[in-house]
């Protein structure tokens, strides 16, 4: 497993990190985002969407569970599993997303941990101050080894 860590110092830089990340991703990739409320998970996803050429405004899928953005180079599926804490066995067709034609981003993955594919990217975001964030990438799976993730740091 490869690991990388970096620090962003503004909302804009967290978004730009997402844009850079988009260039390294391929259809079928799954990203799990971990971090406290308001730490920047959706901000990073917004940048990722922009890097994929998605023009629509990316919003947190807290109440819808899954938002689909299909107007970019690769479809983006943005999930928020927080509300599944009380019913993690609900069948929402995760396999179709995880093995599909797009990139899937999952916020609060601990609530569906048994559904997450073995090969995935885990991103942990930690608040260091009002504007600074520590971002740690863990690449689970050999398919990510040659993609240049080290260039993000």
Q: Has residue 146 got a pLDDT over 90?
A: no
Q: Has residue 64 got a pLDDT over 70?
A: no
pLDDT band at 82 (very low <50, low <70, confident <90, very high): confident
Q: Report the distance separating Cα 124 and Cα 28, nearest Å.
A: 20
Number of domains in the chain: 1
Computed over every residue of the chain, the mean pLDDT equals 89
Q: 63 in a domain, yes or no?
A: yes
Q: Has residue 88 got a pLDDT over 60?
A: no
pLDDT at 120: 97
Q: Which residue in 70, 89, 87, 81 sits closest to 32, CA to CA?
A: 81
Structure-block tokens of residue 20: 């850079």
Domain of 129 in residue numbering reads as 2-143
Q: 116 in a domain, yes or no?
A: yes
Q: 61 in a domain, yes or no?
A: yes
pLDDT band at 91 (very low <50, low <70, confident <90, very high): low
Q: Has residue 41 got a pLDDT over 70?
A: yes
For residues 99 and 63, the model is more confident at 99
Q: Which residue in 36, 58, 38 sits closest to 48, CA to CA?
A: 58
Q: 101 in a domain, yes or no?
A: yes
Q: Which residue in 98, 101, 81 sits closest to 90, CA to CA?
A: 81
Q: 149 in a domain, yes or no?
A: no
Q: 148 in a domain, yes or no?
A: no
Residue 114: give its domain's CATH number: 3.40.50.300
pTM listed for this prediction: 0.91
Structure-block tokens of residue 114: 């048994």
Q: 86 in a domain, yes or no?
A: yes
Classify residue 50 as exposed, middle or buried by CB count within 10 Å of its CB (0-12, 13-18, 19+): middle
For residues 87 and 10, the model is more confident at 10
């Amino acid at each position: 497993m490869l690991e990388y860590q970096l620090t962003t110092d503004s909302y804009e830089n967290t978004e730009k990190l997402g844009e850079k990340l988009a260039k390294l991703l391929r259809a079928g990739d799954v990203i799990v985002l971990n971090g406290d409320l308001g730490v920047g998970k959706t901000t990073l996803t917004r940048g990722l969407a922009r890097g994929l050429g998605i023009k629509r405004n990316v919003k947190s899928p807290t109440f819808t569970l899954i938002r689909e953005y299909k107007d970019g180079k690769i479809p983006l599926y943005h999930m928020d599993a927080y509300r599944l804490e009380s019913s993690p066995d609900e069948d929402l067709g995760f396999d179709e997303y995880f093995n599909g034609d797009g990139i899937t981003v999952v916020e609060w993955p601990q609530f569906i941990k048994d559904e997450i594919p073995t090969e995935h990217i885990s991103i942990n975001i930690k608040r260091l101050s009002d504007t600074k964030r520590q971002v740690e990438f863990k690449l689970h799976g050999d398919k990510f080894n040659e993609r240049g993730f080290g260039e993000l740091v």
